[in-house]
């Protein structure tokens, strides 16, 4: 019922009652209540729907800055390892949104090792993308892209007290054994072209990559570059 009133459809259709529904849900701290469902009721459809509501309600909603979102943030982080990319994607969108809204939420997320968790997400879905069919691979890459965007936000100094920035950097340094390895894998990963990934010889791979990149449609070229 809540999803019908607050979630924008894949076709971009916005429910007429969306603004009012989000306002009511925020007023009664509905995210806090729904966060219980994230772990207590492990049905996949429930997780998808609740995570989708989280992503939509948190989008540009400054009223959330006055609420206690510690539980929703913590439960979202606990589920980032989900094998369902829909759930992972939506929860990362939620985390990105609330960290944009409030430095307090950003600081709390960093305290809960969000940076290390997001790096693990990148590593997991990059591996999955390499083995997936093109249709699924695009979903995986979208998850990687939103994760990278969220990491950039978390380590940004813009409008943040210096101690929050230092906390984010410290969190990344704690995960330093994985950071460089994961990020190097991503920057040399061939997202849009599955064929290049299977070439073992490094020199041949570079040549094939340059040739195939030029043959990609312009939209695919932009997708490849933007993701990296």
Structure confidence at residue 194 (pLDDT) = 62
Q: Which of 63, 61, 93 is nearest to 76 (CA)?
A: 93
17-21, 79-83, 196-200, 214-218: the lowest-pLDDT one: 196-200
Q: How far apart are CA 66 and CA 31, in angstroms?
A: 13
The tokens describing 67, both together, are 């609420």
Structure confidence at residue 93 (pLDDT) = 95
Q: Which of 219, 226, 224 is nearest to 209 (CA)?
A: 224
DSSP one-letter string for 24-38: HHHHTTHHHHHHHHH
- The answer, yes or no, to whether residue 101 has pLDDT greater than 70, is yes
**What mean pLDDT do residues 35-41 have?**
71
CB 168 within 8 A of CB 155: yes
Whether CATH 1.25.10 fits 2-189? yes
Q: Which of 59, 39, 169 is nearest to 110 (CA)?
A: 169
Structure confidence at residue 74 (pLDDT) = 92
Confidence class for position 31, pLDDT limits 50, 70, 90: confident
- The answer, yes or no, to whether residue 160 has pLDDT greater than 90, is no
Q: Which of 120, 125, 75, 124 is nearest to 95 (CA)?
A: 75
Structure confidence at residue 142 (pLDDT) = 82
Domain ranges of the chain: 2-189
Output the pTM of the full model: 0.74
* Helix and strand totals (H; E) in the chain: 14, 0
- The answer, yes or no, to whether residue 192 has pLDDT greater than 60, is no
From the centroid of its chain, how far is CA 165? 20
The tokens describing 165, both together, are 């920035």
Q: Which of 198, 219, 71 is nearest to 209 (CA)?
A: 198
**What mean pLDDT do residues 180-189 have?**
63
Helix (H) or strand (E) holding 46: helix 44-57
Most confident of 53-62, 88-97, 154-163: 88-97
Confidence class for position 23, pLDDT limits 50, 70, 90: confident
- The answer, yes or no, to whether residue 60 has pLDDT greater than 60, is yes
Structure confidence at residue 96 (pLDDT) = 94
CB 134 within 8 A of CB 194: yes
């Amino acid at each position: 019922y809540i999803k019908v009133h607050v979630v924008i459809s894949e076709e971009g259709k916005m429910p007429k009652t969306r603004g009012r529904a989000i306002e009511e849900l925020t007023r009664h701290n509905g995210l806090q209540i729904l966060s219980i469902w994230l772990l207590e009721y492990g049905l996949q459809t429930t997780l998808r729907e609740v995570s989708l509501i989280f992503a939509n309600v948190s989008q540009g909603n400054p009223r959330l800055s006055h609420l206690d979102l510690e539980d929703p943030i913590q439960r979202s982080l606990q589920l980032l390892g989900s094998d369902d990319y829909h759930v992972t994607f939506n929860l990362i969108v939620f985390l990105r949104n609330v960290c944009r809204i409030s430095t307090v939420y950003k600081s709390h997320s960093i305290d809960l090792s969000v940076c290390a968790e997001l790096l693990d997400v990148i590593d997991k879905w990059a591996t999955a993308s390499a083995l997936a069919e093109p249709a699924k691979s695009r979903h995986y890459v979208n998850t990687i892209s939103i994760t990278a965007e969220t990491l950039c936000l978390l380590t940004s100094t813009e409008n943040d007290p210096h101690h929050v920035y230092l906390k984010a950097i410290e969190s990344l340094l704690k995960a330093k054994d994985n950071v460089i390895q994961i990020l190097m894998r991503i920057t040399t990963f061939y997202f849009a072209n599955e064929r290049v990934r299977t070439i073992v010889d490094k020199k041949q791979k570079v040549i094939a990559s340059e040739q195939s990149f030029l043959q990609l449609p312009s939209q695919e070229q932009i997708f490849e570059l933007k993701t990296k």
